[in-house]
Amino acid sequence: MRRREPVSGRLPDFPWDHLLEHAARARAHPDGIVDLSVGTPVDPTPAVAQDALRAAADSPGYPLTVGRPETRQACVDWLGRRHGVTGLDLDAVLPVIGSKELIASLPGHLGIGPGDLVAYPELAYPTYEVGAVLAGATPVARDSLTSFGPEVPALLWLNSPSNPTGRVLPVEHLRKVVDWCRDRGTLLVSDECYVECAWEAEPVSVLHPDVSGGSHEGILAVHSLSKRSNLAGYRCAFVAGDPAVVAELLAVRKNLGLQMPGPQQVAMEAVLGDDAHADEQHERYALRRRSLRGALERAGFRIDHSEASLYLWSTRDEDCWDTVSWFAGRGILVAPGSFYGAAGSRHVRIAFTATDERVDAAVERLAG
């Protein structure tokens, strides 16, 4: 049998493997490590989710890939109530098992492959590239629509608010991208997982009528409950938009048995219907962000963009790995900007998702 190259050999290196040496130095700090390198929630999962999960724990049958109608209706209601999205029916919404799984698998599930381009921002979540590579498509990092020339991507990813920069794209720009993609038959998928983590700007969904023109043809939006509701461990997310594209995803995912567990769907419905816990979590993050940003600026760092998301895109105009090393020497672990593309080589991404105690420790160390 002919030996084939392992799929893993075609994938980019897993970025966090390169941080191990710096993590070891940070852990050696007498007061322990302050890990600000990842955006993992650390606060308790809200009671509304835990109560709903317990109540739904008796779940002996297989869930449907399409999801419970009550869960999909909760997605529609939330998008309308919190983000002004109109015109969505239940067949335009699909629950998925965490947004990362969807992002990595979406190109392949939609038949995008060799000879196709998958485009994403020059500073971007690495999984956009991974999904393109897994599908056999060509990944391209582009910020300017004019840079494509005669090339027409099969899929274009947007990410607003951005991971890693926290940048929020204005309505006018989003509308221009929607029109450009529709003119060329390009599927536009907007990763909006940080849409409720906004501080100095108001993110707008591509599904909003001011952007979409009242039609969701050719566009999808991806949403996650991990950040808003501390449900990273529940793997609750959904995709919404063009019903024809959602139907194609559903048909493929049925064959693969990709089903969000029923109890998690009940929990997802509960948290989408409850804004109070999300507002409380938003205030926790706002306080941590304010404290950490002030400490970074006093230590000589410049914060670029960062008007939304759970990160501070920070620089002091040096190679990002030198900055990572500087932080590690103070027992603080941060992510080098180069993880997200060559354009990030002079920035670091600093999460403010650590506990109050660990954020306070970082502030103290930055003042030393």
Whole-prediction pTM = 0.94
Q: Does one domain contain both 286 and 201?
A: no
Kindly state whether residue 201 falls inside one of the protein's structural domains.
yes
Kindly state whether residue 321 falls inside one of the protein's structural domains.
yes
Q: How far apart are CA 203 and CA 195, in angstroms?
A: 6
Structurally, the chain folds into a number of domains equal to: 2
CATH number of the domain enclosing 84: 3.40.640.10
Kindly state whether residue 135 falls inside one of the protein's structural domains.
yes
pLDDT in tens, 2-31: 556 666 566 666 666 789 999 999 999 999
Question: What percent of the chain is predicted at pLDDT more than 90?
Answer: 95
Give the residue-averaged pLDDT of 81-88. Answer: 97
Give the residue-averaged pLDDT of 89-109. Answer: 97
Q: What mean pLDDT value characterizes the chain?
A: 95
Q: Does one domain contain both 151 and 293?
A: no
Give the residue-averaged pLDDT of 35-48. Answer: 96
**What is the pairing mode between strands 348-351 and 117-120?**
unpaired
Domain stops at, among 273, 293, 318? 273
Kindly state whether residue 1 falls inside one of the protein's structural domains.
no
Domain span holding position 242: 47-273
Q: And the tokens for 197?
A: 């983590």
pLDDT in tens, 267-280: 999 999 999 999 99
Q: How far apart are CA 164 and CA 194, in angstroms?
A: 11
Kindly state whether residue 37 falls inside one of the protein's structural domains.
yes
Q: And the tokens for 91?
A: 């067949």
Kindly state whether residue 28 falls inside one of the protein's structural domains.
yes
Map 114-128 to HEC letters: CCCEEEECCCCCCHH
pLDDT in tens, 316-368: 999 999 999 999 999 999 999 999 999 999 999 999 999 999 999 999 999 98
Question: What percent of the chain is predicted at pLDDT more than 70?
Answer: 96
Q: Does one domain contain both 194 and 71?
A: yes
Rg for the chain, CA atoms, rounded: 21
Does the structure show a pLDDT above 90 at 232? Answer: yes
Q: Does one domain contain both 136 and 258?
A: yes
Give the residue-averaged pLDDT of 187-199. Answer: 97
So what's the pLDDT on residue 17? 76
Strands (E) in 82-172, as ranges, are: 93-96, 117-120, 138-141, 155-159
Q: Does one domain contain both 33 and 131?
A: no
Q: Does one domain contain both 78 and 129?
A: yes
Give the residue-averaged pLDDT of 57-78. Answer: 97
Q: Does one domain contain both 102 and 198?
A: yes
Domain stops at, among 221, 255, 273? 273
Give the residue-averaged pLDDT of 257-262. Answer: 96
Q: Does one domain contain both 169 and 83?
A: yes
Q: Does one domain contain both 340 and 307?
A: yes
Please, are residues 191 and 99 in contact by the beta-carbon 8 Å criterion?
Answer: yes
Q: Does one domain contain both 194 and 214?
A: yes
CATH number of the domain enclosing 16: 3.90.1150.10
Q: How far apart are CA 113 and CA 107, in angstroms?
A: 7
**Cα-flanking dihedrals φ and ψ of residue 124, to 5°?**
-155, 155
Q: 68: pLDDT confidence band, cut at 50, 70 and 90? A: very high
Kindly state whether residue 194 falls inside one of the protein's structural domains.
yes
Q: Does one domain contain both 202 and 269?
A: yes
Kindly state whether residue 2 falls inside one of the protein's structural domains.
no
Domain stops at, among 245, 273, 301? 273
So what's the pLDDT on residue 18? 80
Q: How far apart are CA 346 and CA 320, in angstroms?
A: 5
Q: Does one domain contain both 109 and 157?
A: yes
